[in-house]
Amino acid sequence: MPDGRVTLYNYLCILYMESLEHSLSQSVLEHLSSVYGLSDQKLEFQATRKDFEGDITLVLFPLLKLTRQNPMVLGEKIGNHLVEYSPFVSHFNVVSGFLNLTISDAFYLSFLEDFLKVKDYGHIHADQDAPTLMVEFSSPNTNKPLHLGHIRNNLLGDSVSKILEANGNHVIKTQIINDRGIHICKSMLAWQRFGVGETPESSGLKGDQLVGKYYVLFETKYREQVAELVKQGSSQEEAEKKAPLLLEAQQMLREWENNNPEVRKLWAQMNQWVYDGFEATYQKLGIDFDSYYYESETYLLGKSIIQEGLDKGVFYTQDDGSVWIDLTDEGLDEKLLLRSDGTAVYMTQDIGTATQRVVDHPQVKGMVYTVGNEQDYHFKVLFLVLQKLGYSWADSLFHLSYGMVDLPSGKMKSREGTVVDADDLIEQMKNTAGIIAAEHGKIDGLDQDQRDELYQKIGLGALKYFILKVDPKKRILFDPEASVDFNGNTGPFIQYAYARIQSLIRRVEGELELHSDLSLVDKEKEILKHLSTYPVLIKTAGEQYSPALVANYLFDLVKLFNSFYQNVSVFGEEDQKLQSLRLLLCQAVANNIEYASGLLGMTLPDSM
């Protein structure tokens, strides 16, 4: 995927530490050239190990043979040169082939000043020529409400979109609504048979929850029919294929594809119930989209592309009329693209959707598909099919694969109704936040409306952080109560630090001024060193499509701040210059918490 473009405005933001390395490199190369006649040598810098004094380390080993010096002598010479000629190096030490450099307090104070001046420090602001990327996420089926698995999908896709934007890209957030197929017909048939005209208004249920109720009911009735057929002498496999309800659902799908007006009318009505329900859930999560695609519209385009592939010899037809592609030479297998009765499969409609998106948004330079890892094989096939069809953009597709979300009780199953409804979970998180906040005494002086707003921020922050702090590739065992712990690696832990800093800032009267002649203690420098890595962190998170890197950066930042706050007096110093420095450092931490939390979709309360 293409990187965002670095504009002049934010050059300092992204390359602050790189510019330090560049400056040090120039000074070292000047010394190597004048003393040893060497030029254009590649120098290796790394962060100094915590058990040694220093901030940044020059690895000397690659230079020893070239200079014919032992590491101690070479390190002493280069170190003395840097102390004399570099404005950034205050002192140094040499340990076993490593030159450990201590960066001056003046450098970090200058960094702090720049950090406070720039809004969204470390984020690249896209200009008109920046690349445009499309991120697909959510993409639910219209036969059930959103559940915990969808929440991980939505939070991951939304956060990755924000991270890609922070890397200087334009991002189009989209989804494909799976609004057709046998699963939709199952809900429709069950409602038609057993619904007695029930509606969201008459039932008091959200539309998506009502439709999901009938999807589960279909499965219950279908299993009863299968059991009866087995009892009558059919094998389990035969019974599952011949159960009357399934045959009726399959017939309804054929009628839908043949534009039966009654079937289409019922389909439109029930889908609208679901769309309304989805939108309410998205609003609760703080999720929105820039465009929508519907399988009911793109599968026909997919079928026409299948015909083009047949004409080109990319696909082939079996004796029963079904259409396939042979990918055995690529280490995969033969893949069905069109059933013998002419109905489309998921692959068909995904081919149509991808091509339609390029038609609608020709400026798009890459697409990210946020889909669970059970579909890894599907996307390998999809991308390969699109490449074989000759689409140049097919090389810029990426599957953001992620692990499933498990509960202490086991895996969720939609057909059995053993899923955690997204709306119920959001409400549960709010309630849990309220209970724990009350136990910690963090609601004194708040009226009920203020408490509700606080609980909502804490609950959603806990949910988002708990989900996003885990590497996307890993499975998650979700524990709602643990996610709201104020003392662990949680959203509330981050939020509380931010609120604490806001309370400190509110005590300040007048402007704070940063003085360049101050000395820093280790706790202050540790925070500034961490803040200075943020631009590189954002770049890496974008390259790896990993909000987990942002979450764990935040956790480390807050731990550093808490250690600083517990060991360094912010208001206890009589020296106003020193007090001002420490308050400005607190402000920088709060700003960084705000920037990074925003990439995770977290809202921060000003008080807790």
Which pTM does this prediction carry?
0.89
123-132, 294-303, 492-501 — which one is most confidently predicted on average?
A: 492-501
Q: Are 466 and 601 in contact (CB under 8 A)?
A: no
132-136, strands of its sheet edge to edge? 291-294, 170-177, 132-136, 364-372, 397-402
What's phi and psi for 47, nearest 5 deg? Answer: -65, 140
End-to-end CA distance of the chain: 40
Distance CA 591, CA 604 (A): 11
Would you state the pLDDT for residue 185?
A: 96
What percent of the chain shows pLDDT beyond 90? 75
What pLDDT, on the 0 to 100 scale, is given for residue 367? Answer: 97
Q: Are 277 and 207 in contact (CB under 8 A)?
A: yes
* Best mean pLDDT range from 138-147, 408-417, 584-593: 584-593
Mean pLDDT of the chain: 91
* Burial class of residue 351, CB neighbours in 10 A (0-12, 13-18, 19+): buried
Measured CA to CA in angstroms, residue 37 lies from 21, 34, 179 at distances of 21, 6, 70
Tens of pLDDT, residues 244-277: 999 999 999 999 989 999 999 999 999 999 999 9
Q: Which pLDDT value is given to residue 193?
A: 95
The structure tokens listed for 435 are 């209970």
b/e burial code for range 97-106 (CB count within 10 A of at least 16 → b): bbbbbbbbbb
Residue 304: is its pLDDT beyond 50?
A: yes
CA distance 310 to 307: 5
* Overall average pLDDT of the 507-534 stretch: 91
Domains of the chain: 8-103 (3.30.1360.70), 180-280 (no CATH), 422-599 (1.10.730.10)
- pLDDT greater than 70 at residue 223: yes
**pLDDT at 344 (0 to 100):** 80
Highest mean pLDDT among 11-20, 284-293, 341-350: 284-293
Is 7's pLDDT higher than 50? Answer: no
Question: How does DSSP classify residue 285?
Answer: H
pLDDT of residue 412: 43
In the prediction, which pLDDT does 5 show?
A: 40
Half-sphere exposure of 296 (CA within 13 A, CB side): 18
Q: Pick the range with the lowest mean pLDDT from 8-22, 157-171, 284-298.
A: 8-22
Whether 444 shows a pLDDT value over 90: the answer reads no
* Whole-number pLDDT of residue 481: 81
User: 103: which strand partners?
Assistant: 89
Band (22; pLDDT cuts 50, 70, 90): confident
- pLDDT number for residue 487: 84
The yes-or-no verdict on residue 404 having pLDDT over 80 is yes
> Is residue 16 very low, low, confident or very high in pLDDT (cuts 50, 70, 90)?
low
Buried-exposed string 143-179: b where 16+ CB fall within 10 A, e elsewhere: bbbbbbbbbbbbbbbbbbbbbbbbbbbbbbbbbbbbb
pLDDT at 406: 83
Rounded CA gap, 354 and 395, in Å?
Answer: 12
Question: What mean pLDDT comes out for the span 88-114?
Answer: 93
Are 120 and 595 within 8 A, CB to CB? yes
- pLDDT interval class at 430 (50, 70, 90): very high
Confidence (pLDDT) at 18: 67
Convert the pLDDT of each residue in 361-396 to its tens digit.
999 999 999 999 999 999 999 999 999 999 999 999
Specify the pLDDT at position 311.
93
542: pLDDT strictly greater than 60: yes
Pairing of strands 334-338, 364-372: unpaired
> What mean pLDDT is predicted for residues 456-460?
94
Mean pLDDT, range 105-127, rounded to an integer: 90
**pLDDT at site 285:** 96
Is 266 within 8 Å of 192 (Cβ atoms)? yes
What is the pLDDT at residue 12? Answer: 40
